[in-house]
Amino acid sequence: MRTLEPDYDSDPGRWSSYQTPTDVHHVVGPELAGPVLDVGCGEGRLASVLRDGVAWVGLDASWSQLRANPHRPLVRADMGALPFVDGAFAEVTHLWCLYHLDDPVAAVAEARRVLRAGGRYYACSAARDSDPEILPEGYPRSTFDAEEAPGIVAEAFGEVEAERWDGRFYALETRDEIRAYCRHNFIPAERAESAELPLELTKRGVLVRAIRAPG
Ligand SMILES: C[S@@+](CC[C@H](N)C(=O)[O-])C[C@H]1O[C@@H](n2cnc3c(N)ncnc32)[C@H](O)[C@@H]1O
């Protein structure tokens, strides 16, 4: 099993090489009323789709991601030790970030700690069999794939709701777009050269929701 090495400061171009036209932020954003803690906030995609007036705090470990994030306030910290008191937030999100950790359960428990009773939690990840048209052998197993994500969140929260996706949502139209997609997703570069245009990818993954029960 691999922990995806966070390379946001050592190779900022890898992450910024591609951005999906539609993403889970567009599902989660409208559900949030705040105050929300966006853990592993990156460049601020979630904050950019929040409704007006929703109180938001972004937290990330990467200087380059924080520099690229136009939203405020921002906190530089490790998601394993959140610098907030118990029950400070109504919502906590872990979007596309828990596969960077050896022990995602500890980080989910830490997120639960800073949620108030009745507060809502969100995490997401892709499945190993996502993108079969360009990676038929599947992605290597990580510490937080869609296959295990609901069970991992359940270890900290008890009950969870798993909303899975499995479909084609957009096409990669140009060779350069496929190259950028491969770089962004750690797919061997040569796959971009042999792929047929346009490339419609089957995306598979899960959004996990949980509620902090009182106590
Ligand atoms: C794939 S990006 C996702 C960013 C954002 N959530 C989004 O959906 O666009 C993962 C983010 O997690 C951050 N990250 C990785 N390990 C972290 C850690 N231990 N503590 C805090 N942030 C971390 C990275 O710096 C990066 O910004």
163-205 per-position pLDDT tens digit: 999 999 999 999 999 999 999 999 999 999 999 999 999 999 9
How large is the average pLDDT for residues 64-91? 98
Give me the mean pLDDT over the 147-152 stretch. Answer: 98
Task: Answer yes or no: is the C-beta of 66 below 6 A from any ligand 1 atom.
Answer: no
Domain contains 193 = no
Asked whether residue 25 is assigned to any structural domain, the reply reads yes
125 with 146: CB under 8 angstroms?
yes
Closest by CA to 90, choosing from 50, 44, 56, is 56
Which helix (H) or strand (E) element contains residue 188?
Answer: none
d(Cα 124, Cα 70) in Å, to the nearest integer? 23
CA 60 – CA 78 distance, rounded (Å): 7
Task: Give the residue from 25, 7, 6 showing the smallest Cα distance to 93.
Answer: 25
Tell me, in angstroms, the distance from the centre of ligand 1 to residue 145's CA: 15
Q: What is the pLDDT of residue 3?
A: 87
pLDDT at 39 (0 to 100): 98
| Residue 69: inside a domain | yes
- DSSP code, position 141: P
The pair of structure tokens assigned to 45 is 């995609």
The tally of domains found in the chain comes to 1
Is the model's pTM score more than 0.85? yes
For a mutational test of ligand 1's pocket, the pick from 10, 36, 100, 101, i.e. the residue with the most ligand atoms closer than 8 A to its C-beta, is 100
Instruction: Round to whole Å and give the CA distance between 3 and 118.
Output: 31
146 in a domain, yes or no?
Answer: yes
Ligand 1 nearest-atom number relative to CA 38: 6
* Closest CA to ligand 1's atom 4: 42
DSSP state of 169: E
CATH label of the domain that carries residue 67: 3.40.50.150
With contact defined as beta carbons under 8 Å apart, do 28 and 83 qualify? no
Does residue 43 form part of some domain? Answer: yes
Peptide bond into 198 cis (omega under 30): yes
Q: Which two tokens stand for residue 91?
A: 């919502």
Average pLDDT over residues 40-69: 98
Residue 175 maps to a domain = no
**In this structure, is residue 90 part of a structural domain?**
yes
Residues of the domain holding 23: 12-167+204-211
> Ligand 1 mean position to 26 CA, how many Å?
18
Query: pLDDT tens digit string along 107-145?
Result: 999 999 999 999 999 999 999 999 999 999 999 999 999
| CA-nearest residue, atom 11 of ligand 1 | 40
DSSP-derived pairing of the beta strands 74-76 and 56-60: parallel
Within a domain: 5: no
Q: To the nearest whole percent, how much of the chain has pLDDT over 70?
A: 100
Mean pLDDT, all residues of the chain: 96
| Paired tokens of 131 | 């993108």
User: What pLDDT is attached to residue 5?
Assistant: 87
- Asked whether 45 lines ligand 1 (CB < 6 A), one says yes
Whole-angstrom CA distances from 68 to 43, 44, 160 are 5, 8, 33
Angstrom distances, CA of residue 4 to CA of 88, 140, 152, 163: 29, 10, 17, 23
Say how many Å lie between the CA of residue 197 and the centre of ligand 1: 31
pLDDT at residue 52 in the model: 97
Residue 38 pLDDT: 99
CA separation for the pair 187, 182 (Å, rounded): 5
